[in-house]
Amino acid sequence: MVTDAVVVSGTGLSKTYRRNAELVHALREVSLVLHPGELVALVGPSGSGKSTLLNVLCGWERADAGALTWGAALAGRQAEDLSWGELALIPQALGLLEDLTMGENVSLPGRLTGAPDRGGKAARELMTSVGIDHLADRYPKQASLGEQQRCCVSRALLLEPAIVLADEPTAHQDARWTEVIFTAFRRLVRSGSVCLIATHNPETWEYADRILSMHDGELREGAPAPVH
Amino acid sequence: MTLLEPTRPATRRTRAATRPRRGGGVILLPPWTRAPLLSLGQPAVILAVLGAAAILACASSSAALFLSSAASESLRVQLAAECDDAAYPEVEQLGVRGFSLEEGQGQQLNEQVSTSMTAQGLAPPYRVQRSSGTVSLNSDTESTLGQLFYRDGTADNIEILDGGTGPGLLLPAFAAQRLDVGVGDPVLAGGYDVAVAGIYQDLFTEQVPREYWCSYSGLFLNEASLDPPPPALIIATDPTIIDEVERLLSQSFQTTSVDRSWISPIETDGITLSEAERIVGQRDRAFEESGIANQFDRTGGTGLLPELVERTTLIRNGLRGPVVPIALGGSILALLLVAAAGSYWADRRVREVRLLSSRGVGPTALAGKAALELAIPAIAGTLLGWLLSQWLIKVLGPNPAVDPSAPVQAAVTAAVGLLLGMVLLATVAGLRARGTAERTIGLRQSWTSRLPWELLLLAAALAAWLQLRNEDGVVIDRNVAQVNLLLVSFPLLFLAGAAVLAVRLLAALLPILRRRAGRWRSAPYLAVSRVAASRLVSAGLLAAVSMPIGVLVYASTLTDTTEYTLAAKAGVVVGSDIAVISVDRPVRSAAIDEVGTIVARYPYGSVDGQDVTVLAIDPETFMEFAYWDDRFADVPLAELLAALSGEDGSAGVNALSMGFSEDTLTVALGIRDVEMDVVARVDTFPGRRLPVPMLIVRAEQLGEIDRTAGRFTEIWSTSAENAVREALPDDIRVLRVQSTDTVFRVANFLSVSWTFGYLQALAAFVGAVAVGGLLLYLETRQRTRVASYALARRMGLKPASHLRSLVLELTVLLGLAFAIGAALAWAAVLVVYRGLEIDPTRPPGPLLTVPLITVLVAAAATVAVALLAAAYSQRAASRADMVEVLRLGS
């Protein structure tokens, strides 16, 4: 259930960087507010600034201008200080540890944050829900990209974080597994978390409570205008 | 223009784009035509290939340089033991009894020989002429014997006491006194009437110029006995005087003749074997052209150089046997590093390789592309390695001087290595590139990789060992010790086979370890996970590091054992560092106690007709100065000496026995029979110089033995010779001094220590290869794990934990490798060291010596490499640009 409370709000976020001689405006005075219990789809063409916005939100990149404010339980915190239980990521690169099995990868956040018990039952349930429980003892390289991606999603959801930032989390999924993954996201947001999902796939928009469109570094509410 | 778009007409372009490429034609496309420059954008790849090629070139070219350097050092060591002019090329005409040159013929011969020597490129020779024996020397009233001698420049190397300006003979002072003659007086030398031109200071009483007189010291010194000096050295101011004497001698029935030598000075500092061979050849040709025809085809004196060349060639050939296979082994290992560099290229160029593969480009074309891209750094690396090997030999080799042909040979072998390396590099790059592009998910381990191929190596090692049991570990050829090739091949085969087998067994335990690690803290958990997940790499790393450690420990143990045993043999022969020997009987004094212990030697004793040496020692001072190793006997020296000193309760003299099994012996010493009770037996005892049994007794208990027994009294000392001489009373004459330095001709054993030294160099080299491989592996691993590390940090993995896990992983892996390598090497040493007998005639046998310093340094280096590699890996991980993590594609 979406509330008026604010998990994070960004105001006038701008980010410019230089690519050789060219000046690239990745973010142009972007403002957004994310509320608990909502699943927000971030859509836009490649190079529109989606990944830069996710980087700024997770603290791996600083905006040149503007302010980012965390609210609710995260009030007063800096993005880079947030733990996996507060802010989890699903990057395009997946970032699974090659030396750990799929099961160990999913339960790793629990082990590293001192909650190993969550690595057991919760991890198995999550893996079962996304159809990779039978791959628990396999190494990532012994699984398909789609299976690895679902492992990555399970890892992000393990500690039921307050906010999930996902970059194309269904890029390697078919329609069935896309639905399974978004169902998992929806289950999370029902508990008061917020998911910001960068996606190209218009079929996934239907799972979103809101759609934010990016184009040339500018953000606006709603789906992008159809291209003819 | 796309990546594969050819610069060819449109019609052919269309066909090229629609049909998979299988090499050949693709070579003219931009990814290939521009390939040589493409590597410039990949500094890490350039560095890897450059380093691998340099190591390969270094390994392949080192043998020729090392052999040449060893030959130069062998020459140097042998030359250093001789007089400076001993090796100068010499042409000699030996005198013939009853024969003499005609008047003026001597000068003619001199010009003839000088011309032939200089014509061959030798320096203008100086002339030495001397009587082959003594000639009578008569004054009006007295007579004596003398040896006639002429050498260019003699007058500048003696101290003229009187006269010395005119022609005639120069007499030593003692001869002039004996003949009662002065300057200008006539004397008859072998019947020839000649004036005394001058009188010079007796050479045996002064410090003569060593270089000038060194080779002729036997003419005026008698170091071998206490007899008076040899007959007077009569120096002729002109060689024609000796010619005249010769003419008179030839007409009488005298046996003395005149020998004539022409000696050409050469520069012996830094001389190489090929230079020495060239000089020997020049000398031989000069001799042939000189017209000298010695009776019975004798060549006369040649100088020592031919003998030194022969011995050095023998030493070099003895070294070649083990060195070439070692260099070959090193080159093969270096080729593995080159192959790894090829794999690294495929890894770094993965995106382009995948794209090309997807367009149908086969592994052959990809291999060609890799070869083109990597050719420049490979050639540069080879050049660098070739130069490096020369520098290393110059700095670390036996001798900086190498034959001019050695660098050329080294360059040829380096070029062959480069060729093989390029083929291997390209092949691996091509196959790996294809493998990267077509990776099969969940590929199971092939059955071939499960087979214990290392058992073949162990079987070969077993065969080598069995063969070695029937052969000597060290072969003595014309007094030159040469290492049996099996002594080198056995450990290499054994260490490689056993290390891989041990690692395979350890790797089988990894799953158990991994299961246990699940309950451990993050750092050990991640470390074990990494090791277990990359089992093949971990096992490879273990084997790769244990191998050089094993070779190093093996080679250094045998080197130290050889050197220690050689020193022990010399110590046993001498008894201490030096033995000052006299036929007089010095007695113990405070001064002697300061510098040594007195030992009376009776070398002519017998027991039931069997020769025996009896040493009468002073137990109170013996222990302080005698050479001793606890392995000489089952009990410590102190106990042996106490047994000698103890009351025996019988009438016999207490004795330590070396070589007798009886408990009581009757020893004939001179006219006396001495009853001896054997109180202890020893395997070896200092002072043993003859291969006969030895009995050691307390001098005090033995008492006085008559002179007919033949006795030498020796002061065994660890001090300098002069200190011992000063401690002796004035009336004690020194017969000779023996020291450990002079027991062996060191050059004869050089090839043994050099062989193992080269093996140690190989070990260091393999270690460098292993470290290079480790860094390549870590670099590759860390680069591909940027995203996972960044996310793991986000999940709560602290950098310190990550570093701890790396340190744990690498120190445990390398530490284990060290333990495996050292343990296997020790096992190999125990199997072979008894065969390392470098002189069976002299005890003790091989004394196993632990190279403690080498082992400690290797252990420290292993730990340092582990820590530095961990720090390097951590730094590589920490440098990850987080901003890029979310952008990276999978």
DSSP state, residue B187: E
Judge whether A83 is closer than 8 Å to chain B, CB to CB. yes
Say if residues B265 and B279 touch (Cβ distance below 8 Å): no
B262: its two tokens: 């022409």
Of A80-89, A204-213, B362-371, B845-854, least confident by mean pLDDT is: B362-371
Residues contacting B632, CB < 8 A, separation 6+: B572, B682, B683, B684, B685, B844
pTM over 0.80: no
Query: Cβ of B519 under 8 Å from any chain A Cβ?
Result: no
pLDDT above 80 (res A150)? yes
Touching check for B787 and chain A: CB below 8 Å?
A: yes
When scoring A84, A97, A135 by the number of chain B Cβ atoms within 10 A, the one with the most, hence best to mutate, is: A97
Interface test with A, best of B791, B793, B888 (most A CBs within 10 A): B791
CB nearest to B890's CB, from A92, A98, A138: A92
**Cα B232 to Cα B666: distance, rounded to the nearest angstrom:** 48
Residue of A89, A99, A109 lying closest to B534 (CB–CB) = A99
Rounded CA separation B371/B761 (Å): 30
Q: What integer is the mean pLDDT of B388-405? A: 90
Within 8 A of B794 by CB-CB distance, chain A residues are 58, 84, 89
Q: What is the mean pLDDT of residues A84-105?
A: 89
pLDDT at B890 over 50: no
Beta strand B480-483 pairing with B474-477: antiparallel
d(CA B582, CA B714): 6
**pLDDT at res. B17:** 43
Name the residue among B442, B525, B791 with its Cβ closest to that of A95: B791
Average pLDDT of span B91-101:
76
Give B592-658 as a DSSP string: HHHHEEEEEEEEEEEETTEEEEEEEE-HHHHHHHS---GGGSSS-HHHHHHHHHS--SSSSEEEEEE
DSSP-assigned beta bridge partners for residue B716: B579, B597
Q: Which residues pair with B488 in a beta bridge?
A: none
Of A98, A111, A143, the CB nearest to B788: A98
Backbone angles phi, psi at B848, to 5 degrees: -60, 125
Q: Do B522 and A95 touch (CB under 8 A)?
A: no
List pLDDT tens digits, range B8-32. Answer: 444 444 444 444 444 445 556 666 6
Backbone angles phi, psi at B276, to 5 degrees: -65, -40
Return the residue of A nearest to B439 by Cα.
A141
- The rounded distance, in Å, linking the Cα atoms of A43 and A52 is 13
Mean pLDDT taken over chain B: 83
Q: Is A153 on the interface with B (CB under 8 A)?
A: no
Tell me phi and psi for residue A223, to 5 degrees. Answer: -70, 150
Between positions 558 and 587 of B, the ones with CB within 8 A of A are: none
Do A138 and B442 make contact, defined as CB atoms within 8 angstroms?
yes
Pair type for strands B169-172 and B192-200: parallel
pLDDT band with cut points at 50, 70 and 90 for residue B281 = very high
The residue ranges of DSSP E strands in B618-762, in sequence order, are 653-658, 664-669, 672-681, 694-698, 712-717, 736-739
Distant-in-sequence, close-in-space partners of B669: CB < 8 Å, separation ≥ 6? B602, B605, B614, B705, B709
Residue B297 pLDDT exceeds 70: no
Residue B845: pLDDT above 70? yes
Please answer yes or no on whether B890 and A172 come within 8 Å at the CB atom.
Answer: yes
- Sequence spans of domains, chain B: 1-8+20-82+304-443, 88-272+289-303, 488-572+746-880, 584-734
The Cα B309–Cα B313 span in angstroms is 6
pLDDT value of residue B796: 86
Greater confidence (B450 vs B483) lies with: B483
A112 falls in which pLDDT band (50, 70, 90)? confident
DSSP B349-372: THHHHHHHHHTT--HHHHHHHHHH
Q: B695: pLDDT confidence band, cut at 50, 70 and 90?
A: very high
Residues found in chain A: 228
CA B108 – CA B90 distance, rounded (Å)? 18
Q: Is the pLDDT of residue B486 over 90?
A: no
Instruction: Check residue B578 and give its pLDDT.
Output: 93
pLDDT at B340 over 50: yes
Would you state the pLDDT for residue B10? 40
pLDDT bucket at B436, cuts 50 / 70 / 90: low
SS3 A15: strand
Split at pLDDT 50, 70, 90, the class of B838 is: confident
pLDDT > 90? residue B380 = yes
Comparing alpha-carbon positions, the chain A residue that sits nearest to B801 is A112
Looking at residue A156, what is its pLDDT? 94
CB contact under 8 A, B886 and A109: no
Q: B883–A61: do the CB atoms touch at under 8 Å?
A: yes
B106-to-B242, B251, B276 alpha-carbon distances in Å: 10, 17, 30
CA dist., res. B691 & res. B614, Å (int): 13
State whether residue A51 sits within 8 Å of chain B by CB.
yes
Whole-number Å distance between alpha carbons of B67 and B324: 9
- pLDDT greater at residue B579 or residue B299: B579
What is the number of H-type helices and E-type strands within chain B?
Answer: 29, 21
Strands (E), B179-277: 186-189, 192-200, 232-236, 258-263
> Is pLDDT at B299 greater than 70 in this prediction?
no
Q: Which residues neighbour B241 within 8 Å (Cβ) at sequence distance 6 or greater? A: B148, B150, B167, B168, B169, B189, B192, B194
Under 8 Å CB-to-CB from B884, ≥6 apart: which residues? B786
Phi and psi, residue A132, nearest 5°: -125, 15
pLDDT average, residue stretch A100-127: 84
Q: Under an 8 A CB cutoff, do A60 and B883 touch?
A: yes
* Residues from chain A contacting residue B351 (CB–CB below 8 Å): none
- Are the CB atoms for A42 and A196 separated by under 8 Å? yes
Full DSSP string of B423-468: HHHHHHHHHHHHHHHTPPTTPPPPHHHHS-THHHHHHHHHHHHHHH
**Chain B: closest CA distance from residue A155 (Å):** 10
Q: Does B792 touch chain A (CB under 8 A)?
A: yes
pLDDT value for B540: 79
Tell me which of A48, A82, A99, A132 to substitute to probe the interface with B (most B C-beta atoms closer than 10 Å). A99
Cβ separation of B890 and A93 shorter than 8 Å?
Answer: yes
Whole-number pLDDT of residue A148: 94
- pLDDT, tens only, A29-71: 999 999 999 999 999 888 888 888 998 998 888 899 999 998 8
Q: Indicate if the alpha-carbon torsion angle A113, A116, A118, A119 is positive or negative.
A: positive
Q: Whose structure tokens read 């030495």? A: B128
In tens, the pLDDT along B707-719 reads: 778 888 999 999 9
Under the banding of pLDDT at 50, 70 and 90, the label for residue B546 is: confident
Residue among B615, B608, B611, B605 nearest B710 (CA): B605
Exposure of B88 in the CB half-sphere (CA atoms within 13 A): 26
* Dihedral Cα B736, B741, B747, B753, nearest 10 deg: 160
CB contact under 8 A, B886 and A93: yes
Q: Is the bond preceding B844 in cis, omega lying within 30 degrees of 0?
A: yes
* A144 interface with B at CB cutoff 8 Å: yes
Q: In sequence order, what are the residues at sequence separation of 6 or more whose Cβ sits closer than 8 angstroms to the Cβ of residue B110?
A: B127, B239, B262
Chain B residues in contact with A97 (beta carbon < 8 A) = 529, 785, 788, 792
> Are B334 and B769 in contact, with CB atoms under 8 Å apart?
yes
CATH class of this structure's domain A1-83+196-228: alpha beta
d(CA B323, CA B413): 14
Q: Does B886 touch chain A (CB under 8 A)?
A: yes
Interface test with A, best of B443, B531, B890 (most A CBs within 10 A): B890
* Residue B332 neighbours by CB distance under 10 Å: 13
Residue A85's CB is within 10 A of a number of other CB atoms, namely 18
Contacts of A89 in chain B (CB under 8 A): 791, 794, 886
Nearest CA in chain A to B790: A95
CA dist B579 and B719 (Å) reads: 10
**Cβ–Cβ below 8 Å for B791 and A51:** no
Q: How many CB pairs lie under 8 A apart between chains A and B?
A: 92
pLDDT (mean) for B572-599: 91
Higher pLDDT, B120 or B337: B120
The average pLDDT across B542-560 equals 85
For residue A154, give both structure tokens. Answer: 């399970």
Nearest to B724 by CA among B738, B740, B707: B738
Please state the rounded mean pLDDT for residues B219-247: 75
B-chain CB neighbours of A199 within 8 Å are none
Average pLDDT over residues B854-875: 89
> Which of A96, A97, A142 is closest, CB to CB, to B442?
A142
| Angstrom distance (rounded) from CA B148 to CA B189 | 8
Confidence check: pLDDT of B477 > 80: no
Give chain A positions within 8 Å (CB) of B889: 92-93
CB < 8 Å to B790, chain A: 95
- CB of B715 closer than 8 Å to CB of B728: yes
> To the nearest whole percent, how much of chain B has pLDDT over 70?
88
User: Mind listing the pLDDT tens digit for each residue in B107-165?
Assistant: 888 888 999 999 999 999 999 988 888 888 888 888 888 888 999 888 888 888 988 78
Q: Tokens standing for B466?
A: 């069995």
Q: What are phi and psi for residue B9, nearest 5 degrees?
A: -55, 155
Residue with tokens 């190494």: A139
Position B495 scores a pLDDT of 87
Chain A residues in contact with B890 by the CB 8 A cut-off are 92-94, 145, 148-149, 172
Q: Taking a C-beta distance cutoff of 8 angstroms, is the pair B718, B587 a contact?
A: no
| Chain A residues closer than 8 Å to B886 by CB | 51, 54-55, 58, 60, 89, 91-93, 167
More confident residue, B113 or B207: B113
Burial call B15-39: b when 16+ CB within 10 Å, e when fewer: ebeeeebebebbbebebbeebeebb
